Amino acid sequence: MLRLIARRLASAVPLLLVATFTLFAMIDFIPGDPAVALDNGDPSLIPYIRASLHLNEPLYERYGRWLLDAIQGNLGTSYSVAHPSVTSLIGSAAPITLSVFALAIVISTVVAFTLGIIAAIRVGRPLDRVLSALFALFVATPSFWLGYLFILWFGIDLGWLPVLGYAPPSAGLWQWLSHLILPSVTLAPPLTAQVALQLRGGLIDAMGRDYILSARAKGLREWAVVGKHALKNVGAPVATVVGFQIANLLGATVIVETVFGLPGIGNLTVQSAEGRDVPTLLGLVLCTTLLVVAVNLVVDISYGYFNPKVRTA
């Protein structure tokens, strides 16, 4: 098991190197000089700014410098007005995004398992077809539209939940949670649909296998047949889908955080792209890619739980 983890970690390193270097090289093509943007209207400062940002060095030297700093947790200085460090910007935004993620994943897993199992048991019946249409709708609905519908219905018309901003956990557990519920519910549908569809397909497949027949033959109750035998064999592909969807979830969070005014990773990305704040964008890409790699690592490790044959690999 440890060897599996070590090997996966080792294979993630070249991936991150290629990814960040591609981006670093692409950013070099940006027209315009960041020093000009930072000189506060005083052109005589430009040479000093260029020197302090190491803009006169060749690409590979700058990349090497950035990489060495990044390994030590220093992602450079943002180009935005107050020049905060990128690490602190991302550090303060990440917990918000991660808590929305956690809640969204919990919500969609619970809903997806319920609906997916129902669809698989009722395969081909009207209920299954209704659910299939619902899943397609879940994927096709733009998340920001859903966000605003929720704001309109639950925030403005019913007044149940706050619609804007964020409250830290120190402001009280309910305060904190109430600001996260609507964003998480808005993020959940596409993930729910993908997990439920995978679960449905896998379950239908598994229910026709011999081990299910033998489980039934030895007189197990239906819930034990589905829950213990069929479901565990569907675990690996379902976990794979969750791993794939993390990258999409990160994309959706950019829009959802803008809708709900949450100062998380997504909001930071939009601000940095608007301000052409390259160091922050680079740091964001590195951190989000790390997150995707980490989640997929957990997914890979979970294969060992679902399928003991993988453990020795």
Question: What's the residue count for the chain?
Answer: 313
Alpha-carbon distance values, 58 to 23, 34, 122 (Å): 15, 16, 63
Least separation in angstroms between CB 280 and other proteins: 10
Contact 254, 270 (CB under 8 A): yes
Least separation in angstroms between CB 52 and other proteins: 22
In the complex with other proteins, the residue whose CB is nearer, 163 or 215, is: 163
Give the helix ranges, DSSP H, for the chain. Answer: 2-27, 34-38, 46-52, 59-71, 86-121, 126-140, 143-150, 173-207, 210-217, 222-224, 231-260, 265-274, 278-306, 308-311
> If you ran DSSP here, which 8-state letter would residue 226 be given?
I
In the complex with other proteins, the residue whose CB is nearer, 50 or 243, is: 243
Least separation in angstroms between CB 169 and other proteins: 26
Residue 10 CA to residue 109 CA, distance in Å, equals 30
Residues with Cβ < 8 Å from 245, sequence gap 6 or more?
Answer: 190, 191, 194, 195
Least separation in angstroms between CB 108 and other proteins: 15
Least separation in angstroms between CB 171 and other proteins: 25
Amino acid present at 173: L
Q: How many other β-carbons are positioned within 10 Å of the β-carbon of residue 152?
A: 12
In the complex with other proteins, the residue whose CB is nearer, 109 or 198, is: 198
Least separation in angstroms between CB 57 and other proteins: 20
